[in-house]
């Protein structure tokens, strides 16, 4: 364990320390955060590939006292450095994807254009390599007995982690906080699009028995049909329905009870920051009006644990602070809560 005798949790976070200003090495930390700087298939705003580094910087401003998990930080949180080669690969493939998406939105026929067809193939192969890299990294950490949190990047990033956690922990469910269903098949031609992450997870991860989605408010007919035909494997709490239940007198507690009752014993949290009201994350990849307050989400997470369910892993994605550090500030606070709940 780390020697904390000289560490003052009431002092400002030091740049020489790690995430949240904590003085832990990877070996000493119980929870290791894996940054995945990747945003190749984003459909709207960019900047999420550098979300992990902005979150890291903002985390130094966070006080370490959490009333829900007092002294949780003493168990050790550590965030790895972003892989520079992965970031460079993301930047390169993002340029290819941008050219392709411009061609697509202008009505171009991909089948008649060899260059564009190769661009899609390059992106799909590159994203598959990213998935494999995430799988190898997270599997190795789990085998060492570490708790693992993934920090993206766009929402395509955790597929490899879903595979690893399923192999390591067995059957589980995902609690997805998101503005989008992410149930599209090969969205825009990209097999591993950020908009296809849950479709791919349900298809490729046999241990994933239940997907419970909360805050959804931007979706297509294809996704609604997928949910209807899932035979209960996907349960979606649309933002409109949540709000109407509250307008008519239901409490957030009663709605959270419904959400939690739909979850199995082992729960993985997949948190796309655009699930929050965009006043909290205006520069996220695809902001959508409406959404949840930060305290609402933290209350839900806390109630999941109080129900006796076990939190086995999490990811936090789509934080972009390229234009304004406010998003990173909010992202860092959501990350600190997730870390504390993970070690509770």
Query: What gap in Å lies between CA 193 and CA 239, rounded to an integer?
Result: 23
Inter-residue contact 307 to 237 (CB < 8 Å)? no
Record the tokens describing residue 65, joined without a space: 């006292």
Query: What gap in Å lies between CA 252 and CA 286, rounded to an integer?
Result: 26
Binned at pLDDT 50, 70 and 90, residue 330 comes out as very high
pLDDT tens digit string along 128-147?
Answer: 999 999 999 999 999 999 99
CA-based torsion, 291, 340, 327, 51: positive or negative: negative
Residue 323: predicted pLDDT: 64
Mean pLDDT of 224-243: 98
Binned at pLDDT 50, 70 and 90, residue 218 comes out as very high
Query: What gap in Å lies between CA 321 and CA 331, rounded to an integer?
Result: 10
Who's near 209: CB < 8 A, 6+ residues apart?
Answer: 171, 172, 173, 233, 264
CA 81: distance to chain centroid? 18
Domains and CATH numbers, the chain: 22-343 (3.40.800.10)
On the question of pLDDT at 260 being above 90, the answer is yes
Inter-residue contact 287 to 281 (CB < 8 Å)? yes
Residue 322: predicted pLDDT: 67
Query: What gap in Å lies between CA 70 and CA 68, rounded to an integer?
Result: 6
Choose from 6-15, 281-290, 301-310 the range with maximum mean pLDDT. Answer: 301-310
pLDDT tens digit string along 155-164?
Answer: 999 999 999 9
CA 44: distance to chain centroid? 17
pTM: 0.97
Inter-residue contact 35 to 21 (CB < 8 Å)? no
Query: What gap in Å lies between CA 327 and CA 276, rounded to an integer?
Result: 11
Record the tokens describing residue 213, joined without a space: 């989605």
Share of the chain above pLDDT 70, in %: 99
Record the tokens describing residue 20, joined without a space: 């949240």
pLDDT tens digit string along 179-205?
Answer: 999 999 999 989 999 999 999 999 999
CA 17: distance to chain centroid? 24
């Amino acid at each position: 364990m780390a020697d904390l005798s000289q560490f003052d949790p009431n002092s400002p976070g030091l740049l020489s320390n790690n995430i949240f200003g904590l003085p832990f090495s990877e070996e000493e930390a119980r929870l290791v955060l894996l940054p995945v700087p990747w945003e190749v298939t984003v459909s709207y705003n960019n900047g999420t590939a550098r979300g992990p580094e902005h979150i890291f910087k903002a985390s130094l401003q966070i006080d370490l006292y959490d009333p829900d998990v007092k002294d949780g930080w003493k168990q050790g949180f550590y965030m790895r450095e972003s892989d520079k080669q992965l970031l460079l690969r993301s930047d390169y493939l993002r340029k290819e994807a941008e050219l392709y998406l411009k061609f697509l939105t202008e009505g171009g026929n991909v089948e008649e254009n060899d260059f564009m067809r190769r661009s899609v193939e390059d992106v799909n192969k590159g994203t598959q390599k990213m998935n494999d890299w995430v799988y190898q990294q997270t599997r190795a950490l789990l085998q060492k007995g570490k708790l693992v949190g993934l920090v993206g990047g766009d929402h395509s990033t955790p597929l490899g982690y879903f595979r690893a956690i399923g192999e390591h922990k067995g059957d589980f469910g995902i609690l997805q906080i998101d503005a989008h269903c992410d149930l599209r098949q090969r969205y825009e031609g990209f097999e591993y699009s950020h908009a296809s992450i849950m479709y791919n997870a349900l298809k490729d991860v046999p241990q994933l028995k239940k997907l419970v989605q909360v805050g959804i408010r931007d979706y297509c007919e294809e996704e609604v049909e997928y949910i209807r035909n899932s035979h209960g494997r996907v349960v979606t709490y649309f933002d409109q329905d949540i709000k109407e239940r509250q307008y008519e007198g239901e409490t957030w507690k009663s709605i959270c009870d419904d959400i939690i009752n739909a979850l199995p014993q082992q729960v993985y949290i997949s948190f796309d920051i655009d699930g929050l009201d965009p006043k909290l994350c205006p520069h996220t990849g695809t902001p959508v009006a409406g959404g949840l307050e930060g305290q609402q989400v933290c209350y839900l997470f806390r109630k999941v644990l109080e129900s006796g369910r076990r939190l086995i892993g999490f990811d936090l994605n789509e934080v972009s602070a390229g234009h304004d550090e406010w998003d990173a500030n909010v992202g860092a606070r959501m990350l600190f809560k997730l870390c504390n709940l993970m070690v509770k």
